[in-house]
Amino acid sequence: MNGINTYKSVGADSASPHKLIQMLFDTYLVRIDQAITALENQNMNAKGTAISKALAIIGGLEEGLDLEKGGELAENLQSLYRYVRERLLVATDKNDVEELKKARDLIFPIKDAWDQIPAEYHNHQE
């Protein structure tokens, strides 16, 4: 189940597609912070859970890309999401907080830009 469908299944189905993506970004960042804290506290179960959820969110964001309509921007986002996934897998394998921070810092500007999209474009579809 992709990230958007996950949110819809827990009652967020009345949210706009824009809001759903915001929720995914927000939750992703929370999961990364949880993974960092878990690693710092040497709680490997919590680390694994948080990173697994972050990976699922990145997968959902990537699945939601429309490469036909989105063109180069969508392709660039797809490359970014794949790179972030690699960072998360390295962080998992090596228990590396710095890789988690990279995975967070790569997504934060995208989330910030998404948050700045004016409200009149939130439900815009072509």
Query: Is residue 5 a part of any domain in this protein?
Result: no
Angle between helices 67-94 and 97-115 (to 10 degrees): 150
Nearest to 56 by CA among 13, 8, 6: 6
Query: Is residue 7 a part of any domain in this protein?
Result: no
Query: Is residue 1 a part of any domain in this protein?
Result: no
Query: Is residue 47 a part of any domain in this protein?
Result: yes
Query: Is residue 120 a part of any domain in this protein?
Result: no
Under DSSP, the state recorded for 41 is T
Q: What is the phi-psi region of residue 43: left when phi exceeds 0, alpha when psi lies from -120 to 50, beta otherwise?
A: beta
CATH number for position 89: 1.20.120.340
The type of residue at 17 is P
The secondary structure of the chain in percent helix, strand, coil, rounded to multiples of 5, reads 85, 0, 15
The whole domain housing 111 covers 16-115
* Residue-level pLDDT at 1: 43
Nearest to 56 by CA among 79, 83, 88: 88
d(CA 42, CA 46): 9
pTM for the predicted model, two decimal places: 0.85
Query: Is residue 72 a part of any domain in this protein?
Result: yes
Query: Is residue 91 a part of any domain in this protein?
Result: yes
* Residue-level pLDDT at 125: 56
CA angle 57, 86, 45 (to 5 degrees): 65
d(CA 55, CA 7): 15
The total domain count for the chain is: 1
* Mean pLDDT in consecutive groups of 10 residues from the start of the chain, 126 residues: 48 76 97 98 98 97 94 97 98 97 97 92 68
Nearest to 104 by CA among 51, 28, 45, 44: 28
Query: Is residue 90 a part of any domain in this protein?
Result: yes
